[in-house]
Amino acid sequence: MQRETESELMQRVAAGDTRAYRTLSDHFLDKIVAHGARLLGDPAEAEEVAQETFLRLWQGAARWRPEARLSTWLFKVAQRLCIDRLRRRREVGPDAIDRQEAGDRPSALLMRKQLAERVSQALLALPERQRAAISLAHYEGMTNPEVAEVLEISVEAVESLLARARRSLRSSLSKYYSQE
């Protein structure tokens, strides 16, 4: 979404325009939910975070500054809400991986599902900041400076997080992608 369009839509949302709000929420909802689910490992909690994020969008539109980018602001809000929840509970461990791999001759669909689950579990095993960085950079397509803005750290710190995250993931998933 173009920045000028974002700014126009936010001005209309600030004036109480529900259609402008729907345009923005429809555009960003999937991304916010997906990022929350990767971070929290719990789709239900991710949906709660998403709902809270868009409530803040609706109620905070009047304070919107046009020089800010809406996508980074939304992800920043969602990120903070996710971090709050993570601090309040124990992180999910990797135990589910072994249970998922049981069974003989699974169908192709089941294998794809198990592979997706394996990747999700590997992501969840990462420290939360590495997980957040890889979610934003790889899955949401953000540039490293944008990731730095969302996570409120330096670009160098983001690069370090991404390098470590990719190394860890490659180590834990090597047998699933190696071309040798």
Vertex 7: Cα angle to 3 and 11 (nearest 5): 170
Closer CB to other proteins, residue 7 or residue 51?
Answer: 51
The single-letter code of the amino acid at 146 is E
Q: Which is nearer to other proteins, 63 or 99 (CB)?
A: 63
| 8 Å CB contact between 91 and 124 | yes
Rounded Cα gap, residues 48 and 5, in angstroms:
27
Closest approach, Cβ 97 to other proteins, in A, equals 13
Distance, in Å, from the CA atom of 142 to the CA atom of 148, rounded to the nearest integer, reads 10
What does the binding site for other proteins look like in residue numbers (CB under 8 A)? 16, 18, 21-22, 25, 29-30, 33-35, 37-38, 43, 46-47, 50-51, 54-55, 58-59, 112, 115-117, 119-120, 123, 134, 137-139, 143-144, 159, 162-163, 166-167, 169-170, 173, 176-179
The CB-of-133 to other proteins minimum distance in angstroms stands at 11
Which CB, 25 or 72, lies closer to other proteins?
A: 25
Sign of CA dihedral 76, 77, 81, 84: positive
The tokens describing 26, both together, are 């429809």
Angle between helices 43-60 and 18-40 (to 10 degrees): 150
- Minimum distance from residue 74 beta carbon to other proteins (Å): 12
Nearer to other proteins, 3 or 167 (CB): 167
Specify the residue, 85 or 166, whose C-beta has the smaller distance to other proteins: 166
Closest CA to 59 of 29, 16, 28, 24: 16
What is the smallest separation between the CB atom of 103 and other proteins, expressed in angstroms?
19
Closest separation between CB of residue 160 and other proteins, Å? 8
